[in-house]
Homo-oligomer: A and B are copies of this chain.
């Protein structure tokens, strides 16, 4: 762990993977990396590499079943929801959702436009049917989320789609959106399993793995059985949630490795962390420490998001100048902090503090930020 005395020393003695603040793919728990490394050679109890294990083997069926069981236990997923492991990332979900639940219904789907990723979802939905953007933060530069009184939900909408946590801008909903009777479909890609939530309030939830869940290459979908019954017939098999539900997520060759690592991460969350409630406590502490560093910097660091809508996962902030941001990122990298550059659409700095980023890593980053702020505050005119 770097301290203020070692910022300029070589980081090779650190476990750099804990200091990965990337927006995703991001940090994975140390114990998961160790187990994965072993499985590349030989899966415990099997004789083969995890990369050579058949997707039709009893072993892999157990892997998928345990990953599902872990998620069910962690989030108390009701029995009338399916837990699916798909390919194509959040982006394919942006299309599969309106193809399944909007196209041909003659109804309107409501979307909240709260940042970069919800905008992408809206673009894809418009290809498939009628979309009403209920609220957009675009003119305000996506610095805050809609207030409780700003939204008039249509009780006849096909569904309401929103993004729980905007990864790029660092905005996170801290309360449920929508109205009863209209299925909520929520992209939780960047905060899934970071905190508890009531699955029963959603028609569908999806999250790609590469933030809190595992490596890139698999996407988790929780979908209510009622939603499956709305899906039109004759969709391409791979785009039909029912195909995957019926096959227990092994319809064609599943991404074995990505699901295996996801199983290990959910096991870690259950057994080592003790559940999403415990995880939330740690995540809140990490975020509190980081936002305090920003707020107590006398304006040297300026957070992007309005305080009330701050994300516990992605902390986007600016420095007094682009020159200083460049210097900050360069020095941070030398000091062993990785992945801190802001998203290409926004610039600046972004610290993503997903589940596997430790409180110690955040402490170190904050110390570094204080050190850097104190060293350069005098330069500001």
Contact = CB atoms under 8 A, between A and B. Distances in A.
Interface residues of A, number: 66
Q: Chain copies in the assembly?
A: 2
B16 A215 contact: no
A25 B41 contact: no
Contacts of A236: 92, 94-95, 99, 124, 127-128
A2 interface: no
Interface stretch (A62-70, A71-79, A222-230, A251-259): A251-259
A48 B16 contact: yes
A21 B90 CA distance: 34
A59 to B, nearest CB: 12
A185 B95 CA distance: 25
A95 B255 contact: no
Contacts of A237: 91, 94-95, 123-124
A20 B52 contact: yes
Contact of A40 (B16, B37, B124): B37
B216 A11 contact: no
A283 interface: no
Interface string A23-65: 1111110000100110011100001110111111000000000
Given A55-B25, A216-B257, A37 B33 contact: no
Contacts of A99: 236
Interface stretch (A287-295, A322-330, A336-344): A336-344
Contacts of A20: 48, 52
A87 interface: yes
A137 interface: no
A65 to B, nearest CB: 18
A17 interface: yes
Interface in A228-257: 234-239, 251-257
Given A91-B237, A238-B91, A49 B28 contact: yes
Contacts of A95: 236-239
B22 A51 contact: no
Contacts of A25: 51-55, 253, 256
Interface in A117-149: 123-124, 127-128
Given A91-B237, A237-B91, A239-B95, A208 B253 contact: yes
A274 interface: no
A362 interface: no
Nearest to A251: B91
A217 interface: yes
A17 to B, nearest CB: 5
Nearest to A53: B25
5 contacts: A52-B339, A92-B238, A123-B237, A217-B255, A257-B257
Closest 5 CB pairs of A and B: A95-B236, A217-B255, A91-B252, A16-B47, A87-B87
Given A89-B253, A216-B254, 4 more contacts: A22-B54, A208-B253, A257-B257, A258-B258
